[in-house]
Amino acid sequence: MTPNSSSTCADIFVACCRAMQQAILIKRVSRQDKEFHFQNWVGDRLTDAKLQHDSAGRNSYPDYTLVQSPEGYEVKGLKWPGREADYDSNSRIPTGEHNGRTVYYVFGRYPAVTDESEYPVVDLVICHGDFLNADHSYVHKNKSFRGFGSYGDLLVRDRKMYVAPTPFALAQGTTGQATLITPSELKLNDDRIEQVGELIRIESDEVAVGYSFDLRTNELTPDFTPNPSAGKEHRFTAYRMKGMGSGSVAMNDARRTNGQLVIGDDE
């Protein structure tokens, strides 16, 4: 192997692939554990890769930060079959950079219906956060005001929930596979993995800069402005571990992806 000093993503990716090959299962501690079983599985893979890491707590971001490298890993477990086109990000917009750290997202799907306390990882994608959203400037804040209700003493909290597409929806060729997606300029030089696709995301013509909500009609009105980076291409490279998986990876049609995303919050 040729050492790669730019990123640890290949190391954790290979550790995940080997665990899948060896049928190392996700272990559910209890039936009340609906989220952290897969996160614990990923933490074990960081240990396998000999990457010292910290986990600041269940509400920390990203879920794991590395000790000897300015990188972090945010973990998203998804039931399969189930909702796979998008995921809820509570008060946290996806991004490839946070507090000076490069952030990678680890998406893993596992069986939706099982009575077992241990079950396999069906497929997996590790992607740079910029593949989901390339804007590093936005800072999330919760705001509130008091004065609502007949007595004027109710507090209204503006606590935003973001819904982002998953890489399973953005890219075809990821189902049933283990895939690593990195910015093309990273140029991973690692003989454990091989390139299986080139992906391009293009910035939109407009960006949302605000919104208003009418408490009388329950109407939400977004405010858009022209995107100064409209048309800018962000290029990514898809990899697989050598000897594991088949086929190539390519972008899905944007219209198809947008059609799969949740419209509203009734679900």
Per-residue pLDDT reduced to its tens digit, 82-100: 888 999 988 789 999 999 9
Q: What is the pLDDT of residue 91?
A: 79
- Tell me what the pLDDT averaged over the chain comes to: 89
Average pLDDT on 165-176 reads 96
Is 225 or 1 the better-scoring residue by pLDDT? 225
8 Å CB contact between 23 and 41 = no
* Distance, CA of 77 to CA of 38 (rounded, Å): 6
Q: Is the pLDDT of residue 197 over 80?
A: yes
Q: Is the pLDDT of residue 260 over 60?
A: no
* Distance, CA of 15 to CA of 9 (rounded, Å): 10
Amino acid letter, 218: N
Q: What is the pLDDT of residue 2?
A: 36
Q: Which candidate, 154, 182, 156, 186, places its Cα nearest to that of 239?
A: 182
Average pLDDT on 103-110 reads 96
pLDDT tens-digit readout, 12-26: 999 999 999 999 999
8 Å CB contact between 111 and 80 = yes
Cα–Cα distance list, 255 to 36, 86, 113 (Å): 33, 14, 30
8 Å CB contact between 249 and 197 = yes
Q: Is the pLDDT of residue 42 over 90?
A: yes
* Distance, CA of 11 to CA of 182 (rounded, Å): 13
